[in-house]
A and B are shown apart, each in its own frame.
Chain A
């Protein structure tokens, strides 16, 4: 009974904070035309306290999206362009000798910001990727003898170009797993593209003002963490994740030959966290199966390993997820 009251209170609390979501969404939509899924995913990751791996061809407003979000929440934003000659110190920072003070001083790297755009993360060698991913995971950086906590909220949006694979360093599965979501974005439609042209050739581009403070994000995260997940939903999440590991048990024996390895327990955690954040965006204090399905592709696609057979037949992780969702009974 107390749980019932809590959910009602939570619903009221969320209703009170609904302005938060509509403000940011409206602000984003003023600058970013189309790409509603990207905007929604960014907000989901921000509320679920995770990081995003973004895949899409150049010119799809990836940089603009994260920069706009940073401006809207009045957060510090940095962009790191990953190149083959980048060093870990270029990301996290290093010790620099100060002639004036006659001692080594810490020079903080671009990772010290709220929102980071790690552009073309697969262009840098593994050691640089590791440095970034470690900072993402630990939320702290060690330079010399000193350890520095990264400021909250902290969100990294890393991008990958799916077309140019020449001279790249693909992220290992263990590293990719650390991203809460992998979002794939596509081209806008004709109407949206027309609007993009108008917006970009306008004499005065739309100004973006800070609408929310970073502290509010942290407050909202506390509410998100209270959103109720019923045992039925937990079972649904586990069924979906287990279907990637033991497809025969879920009556999907055909998938066995195309899945090299299934999603990790981190996938279950991510699915639950994202479903909660998504429920918040929809103004609910509890998670329903729709929330799970809405974030399922983004949280699972980078956690399912495909076999050579699947790659040879152009079968994608998204198709596997669709098959699983069509098979697992909804509670």
Chain B
């Protein structure tokens, strides 16, 4: 064997080894395949599209996708969302891993999306690189520029906490307490200055009987009919009686006509004895008020007396034991009084 033949054999053997290694390496590389695809290769600036990565590999092979920057694929293409890997069993000890990356671009132009890198041990597998075209928004330069809408204040909900300074918001109840104390102090001071009692006195409602009697006495003292004011005299008498009946019997007498009052009280046992008296007063009063009638002085006196009798006879009767209780308690205010024996 010549030297050249030996060299030839060595070269051939080396080539065979290299080829075997190359085939083995190729066989290993063929087990992992990474592909990339864009849902839309052209988008309007600001819009989004999805970059879908597909990795097909043998089961049990551990690898991971390498992203240089979790926020952007390139300086102009932002990565908005990255879905979880979705694995599908393809059979024959093969699996498919799907990943979807939501991307967005705001500047117009054509951008190269670099190949995705999938690292398995010391090996790195790459997908093909893709191109994304970002189209600018068409602007009609000849069109009118429309006015901008005002900011709607209602759209922004009012939150008190945003408006209050922190030193108030953090100690709000202490502040409220302080304001209440100050207001109370001012109120007490004002009442003290005006000489008013600290506790306002209870307004005691005058019982209907007492009110009617007082009003009738005042009417008598005013001497209206003696001064030629019969109309005013009878108007006052009927007003006193109407108000008394209203409060005493809870009848809407102020808004009733004379006829209605008489008809209503006809059913009432408490007024049965004096209904006639009342009817006579109202009849005379109607004549004076609406027909300019001028009764004789005796009639005027009689009308007052009848009114007084009506009020006296319909005065509420109080049970004796109740009366005693009231006598024992001098502060006790009552609307009812015992009828004189």
Give the B-binding residues of A (Cβ under 8 A): 3-4, 7, 228, 230, 232-233, 284-290, 293, 325-331
Contacts of A290 in B (CB 8 A): 257-260
Q: Which of A285, A326, A329 contacts B291 (CB 8 A)?
A: A285
Alpha-carbon distance between A285 and B290 when the two chains are bound, in angstroms: 10
Q: In this assembly, does B337 line the interface, its C-beta being within 8 Å of a C-beta of chain A?
A: no
Specify the chain A residue showing the minimal Cβ separation from B239: A329
Alpha-carbon distance between A327 and B258 when the two chains are bound, in angstroms: 16
Contact A3 B292 (CB under 8 A): yes
Alpha-carbon distance between A232 and B256 when the two chains are bound, in angstroms: 15
B 265-296 to A, binary, CB cutoff 8 A, 1 in contact else 0: 00000000000000000000010011111100
Contact B255 A7 (CB under 8 A): no
B78 to chain A, nearest CB (A): 58
Contact B257 A326 (CB under 8 A): no
Contact B257 A289 (CB under 8 A): yes
Q: In this assembly, does B252 line the interface, its C-beta being within 8 Å of a C-beta of chain A?
A: yes
Contact B257 A329 (CB under 8 A): no
* A/B interface sample: 20 pairs, CB < 8 A: A3-B292, A4-B293, A4-B294, A7-B291, A7-B292, A230-B289, A230-B292, A232-B289, A232-B290, A233-B290, A284-B291, A288-B286, A288-B290, A289-B290, A290-B257, A290-B260, A327-B255, A328-B255, A330-B254, A330-B257
A-B contact count (CB 8 A): 51
Alpha-carbon distance between A284 and B290 when the two chains are bound, in angstroms: 11
Alpha-carbon distance between A330 and B235 when the two chains are bound, in angstroms: 11
Contact A326 B255 (CB under 8 A): yes
Contacts of B255 in A (CB 8 A): 325-330
Mark out the residues of chain B between 245 and 259 whose CB falls within 8 Å of any chain A CB in the assembled complex.
Answer: 252, 254-259
Categorize the interface residue count of chain B: 10 to 19
Alpha-carbon distance between A233 and B293 when the two chains are bound, in angstroms: 15
A251 to chain B, nearest CB (A): 11
Contacts of B294 in A (CB 8 A): 4
Given A4-B294, A290-B258, A330-B256, 18 more A-B residue pairs with CB atoms under 8 Å apart are A4-B291, A4-B293, A7-B291, A7-B293, A228-B290, A228-B291, A230-B292, A232-B235, A232-B289, A286-B290, A287-B290, A288-B257, A288-B286, A288-B290, A289-B257, A293-B257, A325-B255, A330-B257
Alpha-carbon distance between A186 and B286 when the two chains are bound, in angstroms: 33
Alpha-carbon distance between A290 and B256 when the two chains are bound, in angstroms: 9
Contact B254 A329 (CB under 8 A): yes
Contact B293 A326 (CB under 8 A): no
Interface-centre pick from B235, B257, B260 (highest chain A CB count, 10 A): B257
Contacts of A327 in B (CB 8 A): 255
Q: Which 3 A-B pairs have the closest CB atoms?
A: A286-B291, A289-B257, A230-B290
Contacts of B259 in A (CB 8 A): 290
Alpha-carbon distance between A98 and B294 when the two chains are bound, in angstroms: 68
Specify the chain B residue showing the minimal Cβ separation from A5: B292
Contact B252 A326 (CB under 8 A): yes
Interface-centre pick from B254, B257, B289, B290 (highest chain A CB count, 10 A): B290
Interface-centre pick from B289, B292, B294 (highest chain A CB count, 10 A): B292
B300 to chain A, nearest CB (A): 15
